[in-house]
Structures are given as structure tokens and as C-alpha cells.
Structure 1
Amino acid sequence: MVSFRCLKYAAIFVFLAVFVFILAHFNMDVLESPCQIQHKVNFSCPVPRLHLQLLSNDDALEERLLLDSIAWPETPSLSASLSLEQTTDPAHSRFTILPEKGGQQWHVGDQLEVMIKMYDFHGRPKKSGGDVLLARLHNQALGAGVAGKVLDLLNGSYSAVFSLLWEGSAQVEVTLVHPSEAVTVLQRLTREQPDRVYFRSVFRTGSVSESTICNVFLRPTQQPLCNYTDINTGEPWFCYKPKSLSCDARIDHSTGGIKPKLNGKENTLFKRGVNLKVSIKASGLTSVNVLPKMKEVKSSSVKSGPSGYYYKDEWRAIGDTTVSRFSTSSAIGQCLKGKTVHLYGDSTVRQWFECLTAALPDLKEFDLHSSRQVGPFMALDNANNILVTFHCHGPPIRFTGVPAMALHSIANEVDRVVGGINTVVVFGIWAHFSTFPTELYIRRLQNIRRAVVRLLERAPGTLVVIRTANPKAMTPFVALTMSDWYAMQLDKVLRIMFKGLNVHLVDAWEMVLAHHLPHDLHPPPPIIKNMINVLLSYICPQKRS
């Protein structure tokens, strides 16, 4: 009787052990090849799926709230009957400057409101929202400019509000980036073609080399996958396994190409000079004359508005930060004396490294035998004890010829920083995430934020500065992969996620939008110089009298 009972329990334990082994084996396969598993069990996987680490309840809740906070107004579906003539036409659309309640007089410290009404190509008013608009107020003669805030009224009308911050003429400029119908296309591309930007890696052992496609998303094939998911952060990355080489033989990372697929009707929504980043004309006045500030108006009235503005081509912050002018090498060097500055991110952050090394003759760059696009870079002024470094962020990143060993997570890099009152950590990460679902970007920022929190806990004096996204020049091709609409969404997420932490923003979005120079992914030198002034003003704040 006893032996039978033991045999029965032994059989149960064996069954449970086999079940656990099968479950664990299945989960390992899912980690390595989520779509491939679906393929094996005969499920369809027409769209590559994003495989991410499981979230804690708090992170999952934050993700849902963030996605809700950036939810775009509903945009028109592209039915077979929809024609270009029914979509938003900037040539027919108009903006109107609204008069002040007491008449058409404006003073420094007031707010100017503009109403924007959108029409289609037949001149018929649009009835729904969802268009992508940018607005700025400027006076080129004064070198003055400020970004406006656009509010979608969801009925084909929009409101743009500007803070009046200088005396004299102030001219309104409104730009349609995309009609609402184009947003429908951009949303579809992200949903159905998240792999439209793809990457390659070379694998080499001895004289044998192979190249395979890599991505966060890989469509199901019979080819097994190599799993390069970061073991610390869970940030996912996969490559198709080479036919004759091991996964350990991977030596580099490069952009493979871009292959967005549109139909003929969708192509008409991304035409330069027609409906892609086109100015909207005024119905009536295009500018107002701003009078001196009235005595009873307090400067605090504009605190909820923009982060700053240009005057005489110099950026002036609104709020607690005073932006100083570091106009000489001596002034920059004195500010950075004894400092270590670590820069992490993409090519828009690399611009800052290039600007600092160009501005400081004694800051000598070491030859690390790295490419000028990729880095890493290190520059040292031994006499003044200044160290500046740059590391690109890990994949997805559209650089070419990045050594596999140089693909580092920003979160992991920040965890290696000792920190302290003489350490500055700067990062900017946004442009290379535009073709992927926002969830991927949220997870990346959650990892970086955790690393920043750990850094500030162990070394509270460390200065952390974040470079935000910025508008860029738009071509039809660029619009499908790096649209300002994508950048706008990611920028909102970043600002929300780091709000309340002891970090500082360099508001690249407003600094590019408010300037008179054309938008560019890599802003021109006058704008970069103003960004560096903001950075240095955080490092060496002006003493208040």
C-alpha cells in the first residue's frame, strides 16, 4: 500500500516536472522569437509584433496613462470614396488675429489669440480636427521669436495662443505640417509597418562572413533568431541567425534601409508645396504692434506659457533660469573647469560635443579610431581638468558601421557614472524611435529614468540635463519615417516622464520653432550656440543679486 502511494506521488511529481520544463522551454522560445512561435503553432503573424519585458503594475499603469495623454483626435478614415479634394488644403485655410476685449491694443505681458479655420480643396470648411499645426510669433528685424501653443477645437477650427514678450511688431506664422488624413496614414504605418526602417549586422569568423537583417520587430520565417536583448534593462533586439555562423560572431550594426509602402491615394497626402509643411495665410492682419508693459501687469502672467523666447537672436528663458552668454573660449573654459561632461544619445547630441570641442582650443580630442558619425568620442583639457565624452545610444539607431561592442544602453551607461557636484550627464534620445510604437520609447525612458534616479540618490550633486526633440525639414520620404508629428508625440512623453525629477531640459523644440532659420534635424550653428548657452547656464548658474 505504501509503495503504491509512493509510486502514485512519484508519477505526479514527474508529470509536474515535465510540465514545468515544457513551459520554461516555451517561454524561452517566446523570448527569442515571438512571431516564430506563432508560426510553429500555425497562428498567423502578418504584422511583426513587439516583444518587450513584462512590466510591473506601476509601469504598466504609467504606460496606459502616457498613451492616453498623447492620444490624437480621431482622424478621417481613408475610404475608397475619399479624394484629395476632400482633405485639408492649407491654400484655402486661414488664420485670424482676434482683437483684445478692450479693442485692438496689445501690451508686453498680454496674450495674443489667433483662430485658425481649415478648409478642403473645394473651399468647404472642415468639420473635424486632427490636423498637425505649428505656430510662432516673430520679428526678424529684432531677432525675436516665440513658439505658440495650438489647441484643437475638434470641429475644423484651432486656437493658437502666443505670449507677447517684446515691444514693437510681432508677426504671426501658422504652418500646416500634415492634414488630419495624413495622420491616419502615419498611424497605419506604425501599426502595420513598424519594421519599415530595418537594420543589418555582419557576422564574421575567420574568412567567413554573413550579413542578416536585425530589428526590434522581425517577421516570421523558418530562420532562427539571435536574441541580443539587454540582460539588465530588457531592451529588445533580434537578428536573423546566419546560416553557418553563431550568434556570437556578430561584429557590427548598420542601417539596412527604409521601405515604407503607400498606395497612390496616400501618396497625395505628402506633397511638398501642397500639404506638407505649408504656411497658412491670414484673413486680415498678419501682425500686431506690441506696446510697453502696463504697470499693473506682472511678469508672472506668462509663466505658464513658453519656456523661453529669442530677442536679438539670443535665447531668454522664462522662469527661474537666467541664460548667460558664454561668448568666448575663456568664459566656456572657466565654466567647465574641473568638470566631467558625459553626453549620451543620437547625432543631435553629438552636435554639442562638436560645438564644445570647436569652442575650446585646449580641449583636445583623443583618437579612439572611431567613425565621425558613431563615436565614442573623448576630449580632455588636462590643464583645466575638463573631460567631455560622447556615446551613441543603443539600437534602434540609424548609424552605419557601429561596432557591436559599442552598442550601449544609456541606462547602463548612467549606472556606471560615479557622479558628484563636478559631473554633468546629458542625454537626448528621440529621433530613431519615430517609426516604432510609442510603447518601445516609453520602456526605454522608464529604464533611463530609473538609472537617473539611482544616480541622483548616490550622488545628489550630479547635474542631469535632457535635450528634447525638435522640428525638422520635411520631404515626403522623411515624413514617413521622421515626421514632426512623431517627434511631437515622443516629446510629450519625455516631458511628462521626467517632470518632477531634479533634471533640467534644454527645450530644443521651442528653440528651433521660435527661430527664423529653417527647421532642420540638426539645427544650424546659431541655434546650437544658444543651446550650449542654456547648458552652460545650468552648469554655472548666474548668482542672483
Structure 2
Amino acid sequence: MKTTSCTRRDFSIIFLFVMVYALIFVLHQMDILQFQPEVNSTIIMPRVSPHRIVNHRFCTFQPRSPQDALEERLILDSIARPENPLLPSPNSLEQTTDPAHSTFTILPGRKGGQWHVGDQLEAMIQTFDFQGHPKKSGGDFLTASLHNRKLEAGVAGQFVDHLNGSYSAVFSLLWEGDARVEVTLVHPGEAVTVLNRINRQHPDRVYYKSLYRSGSLSETTPCNVCLRSTQQPVCNHTDLRSGEPWFCYKPKNLSCDTRINHFKAGYDNYLSAEENKLFQSGVNMKVSIQAAGPSNVTVLPEDGQLKVKSSSVASLPSGYYYQGVWRALGGITVSQFNTSAITQCLKGKAVHMYGDSTVRQWFDFLNAVLPGLKEFDLHNPRHIAPLKSLDNENNILVSYRCHAPPLLSLPIPIRELRYTANELDDLDAGPNDVVVLGIWAHFTTSPMDIYIRRLQSIRRAVVQLLDTNPGTLVIVRTGNSRSLNDKVPPLNSDWYSLQCDKVLKAMFKGLKVHLIDAWEMTLAHHLPLDLHPPPPIIENMVNSMLSYVCPQKHG
């Protein structure tokens, strides 16, 4: 009997141990999933062979530190907006925000209805649906700016969503004279819901390909950060140094190490016929909202009284335009640099630019205005890096290199695909070196967690660079709004650009780097929005960069 009792007790202890272990395992899996919601992922260990073939589910990522995973979740939470579920009715468009019915009203100014330089102007936006009914929920994506075309003055507005169909747009009054309010509905909240769903559920909505070749054999296969599960084996092209993931379906008759190039292959539109109605130019996408009364005010000079009205907007704009010149608010005085001043400022310096074509515009600008700067002919198309220019007489070097995939481009040789973090790690920098980063446009078609991972990798390299070379100047260009020329609006929506802009600013906050706020610089300007801003805006951006390189000396 003693033996039977002991056996039962032993089995009970074993059973309890197994149950506890199973519970720990389940909780561990839940902990992993909560950092990557709605992503079905398989973890691969770091430092794997780049040509090892791995079969995996939809998304495959390398393990990260708990700190990085927590930061990702906090950033994603910080950029989340209120969402309205898309109504299933075929006539759901009728219940969405209609800019033609919606209006804004400028609220009264200080005593006597006057506004002075230093005050804040507030406009209240009330949204209505296509049936003329007031909206009861928030989540719309709106932009606003204050302009005086005659003075070439402009500033971007700051928004508050009251979550009840009304919004406040708040503007800092920074010049005397006329100031006209302009409000635009970029997307109704229901469209934002669709954009967020597509971003989470279809990380491969833009797809890429690579050519593999050996001798007379060649084959092209699809590639991406996330590949859908098939019976076809996969080539793991994850970068060994930075850990950045990239995969291609393995060619049938070639090995993974025969990969030749990378290029964009196409895109898929996952919108239903009903959802397509939410993205109509001239109807509910980037359409102006009209004023219910006056749309402009006259701003008087400062009067020495309390300047700023209390409002629910705590942050001020990063700057504004006056007479076509960008004036930064806080931190630096933006100087105007002519050709000789640019040459003098950059004399003996090297400017290293990394990123996409929006920062390559800075490279092209310097090449165009500096007669002594001569670009090397590397026999590559303009979109293929590296690009290098040298002014021998003044010892000025300016270079540009694009970042690695995801990269929406014509074919690029694999040998020219360099991860920015690795480039920064290899850079022998010093007090005469300027590093410019502009990495956002190609990530608007990827889930934000992929963009966060890339920026975390780059930030680690920036921190290391500044630790070992504290005199190096690092400047980051943020993202900006686009025009409406894209064939598939959800593919390159400004909503994704705004998310990238917010993530980028959050990622580099607190570091010894300088931000050029391209988002506000494009919104505040009177010229039309464009993925590649027009020359006057680029000139202001470059002047802002040079003002950090050669700050104005005050007596």
C-alpha cells in the first residue's frame, strides 16, 4: 500500500510539473505574439548562413532584445489614431466624411476680435457625411496650413481630434498682415481604418524580384521581407551584420548564392469595390474643406500683452516661411548661403548622404550650385549608388548611397546594396564629416514594425558613431507629403508617410542629431505637394543643413 501511495504522489508531482511547464510555454508564446500583433512569425537565430534555405511561414524575423520589442510597442501605441470600422452596407460611403458638406470656422480672437503676432489662431472643423448628417466619431486624417501668398509666408497647423466629429486646427501667428486658413481632408477615418488593415495584413502588397544567374542559366524569383508560405524553398538573404531580413524564393535550378540584382516587380491592390470608393480624388481624398465664414484674418503687430491663447495644442511648429525663406523656431538660425558661402562652409569637409531619392535631391542640389564640385562618372544610372563628387581645390567631398531593400527601384546590382547601419559602422568620421540620413519613402509600403526595426539598427550605428567620433555632425531628413499622381492611392498614401514621419522623430528623439522637418516644410509652402519637393523647398532644406554645419555667429 505504501508503494501505491508513493507512486500516485509521484505521478501527481510529475503531472503538476508538466502543467506548470505547459503554462509557462503558453505564456511565453503569448508574450512573443503581443509584440507582433497580427503577424504570424517564425523566429530564426542570428548569424545564420546567408544562403541557408529555410522554409517558414508568412513573416520571419530575427530575435530582438526585450528593450527593442518594448520600444516598438510603445511607438506603435503613440502613433495610433482613433479608427471607425468600415460599415458593411453597400452604401457605406454615404456615412463617411464628405469634405463638401464639412466646414471650418475661425474662432474669435482676443478682446475686440483682434489677432496679434505671437497669438494662436484656432479654427474649429465640423465634419458631415454625404447625407449631410454630422459625424459622431473622429479618426479623419486632416492637414491645415496658414498662408500669405503675397508675403510668401506659411506655417503648418497642429491638430486636435475631439473624437466626436469635430477637430481643432491651431496655428501660431508669426507674421503681420493677412493670414488665410486652408484645411484639407486627406482621408476620412473609414479610409484610415482600411489603410491600417492593409498595412498589417498585406506586408507584401508591393513585391520585388531578383535575378539569379550562373553561366547560361538564369531565373527570376519573387523576394520580400515577408514571403507567403508555399512548397517552394526560400533563400535567406538576411544581412549578417545588421540582422535585416530579406528573402527570395529559391530558383529551381540555381543556388541561392547566384543572386545578381534587386528590383521592384509590381503591387497588388487589396481594396474591395466598396473600399475603392473611399479613395476618390476630388471626392474624399485630398479635398479642401471650405470655411463657414471668413477664411482669413488680419494679424496685427505684437502689443506686449499675453501672446499665446491657451489651447489643447502644446507643441509649436518647427518653423515657418517668410518671404520664401524657412525660419526655424528654436535651436538654430537658418542662414542663406550663396555659392561662395556654401563653398566656404564646406571647405575641407566631407558630406556623406544615405537614404532614398528625397535626400539624393540634396546631393543633386549641391552639384548644381557649386561649380567646383565635379561628379565622378561611375558608369551607373542615377538611381544606382554610390554617387561621389569632389572639389579638389577646396577639398570638399559629397557622396550619396541608397539604402538596402525594401527599395522601389529599377534593377540594382547586389554588390551595390548596402545597409546604412553597416555603412555608418565602417565610416571613419571626424569633426570635418557630416552624415545626412533620409530613410522613409520606400518604407511607406511596409508595416511600421519593419520600419521601426530598420531605424533601430541605424540608430545603434549612429550612437556608436557619435560615441567614437563625437565631433561628427548627424542630420536627419524626415518624410513629407506626396502628390496624387500615384496609380493606387493606398499604396503611397500620405497616411503612411505621416506614420513614418512620427516614427522617425520618436526614434531619434534625445540623441545628438539634428532634424530637418520636411513634413512641415512641404505643408507650410504654397507650392504643390510632391514626393520630390520642388527646388525652392530643397534650397531651404539645404540651407537648414548648412546652418548646422556652419552656425551663424552672434556677437
With normalisation by structure 2, the TM-score equals 0.89
- The residue type paired with residue 462 of structure 1 is T
Match of 2:329 in 1: 318
Asked whether the 8 Å contact 2:53–2:233 carries over to 1, the reply is: no
- The residue type paired with residue 98 of structure 1 is L
CA distance in structure 2 between the partners assigned to 1:372 and 1:403 by the alignment: 13
Select 1:177's aligned residue among 177, 183, 186.
186
Match of 2:419 in 1: 409
Asked whether the 8 Å contact 2:44–2:63 carries over to 1, the reply is: no
The alignment covers a number of residue pairs equal to: 509
| Structure 2 counterparts to residues 51-450 of structure 1, below 5 A | 51-80=60-89, 82-297=91-306, 304-326=315-337, 328-450=338-460
Asked whether the 8 Å contact 2:389–2:397 carries over to 1, the reply is: yes
Moved more, 508-517 or 52-61: 52-61
Select 1:541's aligned residue among 532, 540, 551.
551
Cα displacement (A) at 1:276: 0.8
Asked whether the 8 Å contact 1:34–1:51 carries over to 2, the reply is: no
- The residue type paired with residue 326 of structure 2 is W
CA distance in structure 2 between the partners assigned to 1:412 and 1:102 by the alignment: 58
- The residue type paired with residue 308 of structure 1 is G
List alignment gaps of at least 5 residues for structure 2. 1-41
CA distance in structure 1 between the partners assigned to 2:531 and 2:393 by the alignment: 35
Asked whether the 8 Å contact 1:35–1:220 carries over to 2, the reply is: no
Match of 1:463 in 2: 473
Asked whether the 8 Å contact 2:85–2:190 carries over to 1, the reply is: yes
Structure 1 residues 79, 104: CA separation in 2 closer, same or farther (over 3 Å shift)?
A: same
Asked whether the 8 Å contact 2:358–2:438 carries over to 1, the reply is: yes
Asked whether the 8 Å contact 2:349–2:397 carries over to 1, the reply is: yes
Cα displacement (A) at 1:161: 0.4
**Any idea what SS the aligned residue of 2:461 has?**
helix
- The residue type paired with residue 261 of structure 1 is Y
Structure 1 residues 477, 465: CA separation in 2 closer, same or farther (over 3 Å shift)?
A: same
CA distance in structure 1 between the partners assigned to 2:160 and 2:309 by the alignment: 22
Structure 1 residues 279, 403: CA separation in 2 closer, same or farther (over 3 Å shift)?
A: same
- The residue type paired with residue 544 of structure 1 is H
Moved more, 161-170 or 198-207: 198-207
- The residue type paired with residue 428 of structure 1 is G
- The residue type paired with residue 265 of structure 1 is E
Match of 2:9 in 1: none
Asked whether the 8 Å contact 1:445–1:494 carries over to 2, the reply is: yes
Post-superposition CA distance 1:492-543 (Å, at most 9, x none): 1111111111000111001000000000000000100110100110100000
Taking only the aligned residue pairs, the percentage that are identical comes to 62
Structure 1 residues 298, 128: CA separation in 2 closer, same or farther (over 3 Å shift)?
A: closer
CA distance in structure 2 between the partners assigned to 1:464 and 1:449 by the alignment: 11
**Any idea what SS the aligned residue of 2:111 has?**
coil
**Any idea what SS the aligned residue of 1:130 has?**
coil
Asked whether the 8 Å contact 1:270–1:476 carries over to 2, the reply is: no
Moved more, 463-472 or 186-195: 186-195
Cα displacement (A) at 1:295: 2.1
Post-superposition CA distance 1:168-216 (Å, at most 9, x none): 0000000000011111211121122211100011111112211111101
Structure 1 residues 35, 191: CA separation in 2 closer, same or farther (over 3 Å shift)?
A: farther
Cα displacement (A) at 1:477: 3.1
Asked whether the 8 Å contact 1:303–1:318 carries over to 2, the reply is: no
**Any idea what SS the aligned residue of 2:459 has?**
helix
**Any idea what SS the aligned residue of 1:91 has?**
coil
Asked whether the 8 Å contact 2:43–2:62 carries over to 1, the reply is: no
Q: CA RMSD in A?
A: 2.0
**Any idea what SS the aligned residue of 2:61 has?**
coil
- The residue type paired with residue 434 of structure 2 is V
Structure 1 residues 374, 478: CA separation in 2 closer, same or farther (over 3 Å shift)?
A: farther
Structure 1 residues 517, 284: CA separation in 2 closer, same or farther (over 3 Å shift)?
A: same
1:508 equivalent to 2:518? Answer: yes
CA distance in structure 2 between the partners assigned to 1:232 and 1:386 by the alignment: 30
Cα displacement (A) at 1:134: 0.3
CA distance in structure 1 between the partners assigned to 2:490 and 2:387 by the alignment: 31
Match of 1:20 in 2: none
1:50 equivalent to 2:59? Answer: yes
Post-superposition CA distance 1:241-296 (Å, at most 9, x none): 11111111111110111111211111111111001100000010100000001124
Asked whether the 8 Å contact 1:176–1:279 carries over to 2, the reply is: yes
- The residue type paired with residue 199 of structure 2 is T
With normalisation by structure 1, the TM-score equals 0.90
Match of 2:39 in 1: none
CA distance in structure 2 between the partners assigned to 1:112 and 1:379 by the alignment: 46
CA distance in structure 1 between the partners assigned to 2:476 and 2:524 by the alignment: 19
CA distance in structure 1 between the partners assigned to 2:387 and 2:404 by the alignment: 15
Post-superposition CA distance 1:119-171 (Å, at most 9, x none): 00111000000100000000000000000001111000000000000000000
CA distance in structure 2 between the partners assigned to 1:238 and 1:226 by the alignment: 6
CA distance in structure 2 between the partners assigned to 1:72 and 1:299 by the alignment: 27
Asked whether the 8 Å contact 2:90–2:274 carries over to 1, the reply is: no
- The residue type paired with residue 316 of structure 2 is G
Cα displacement (A) at 1:320: 2.2
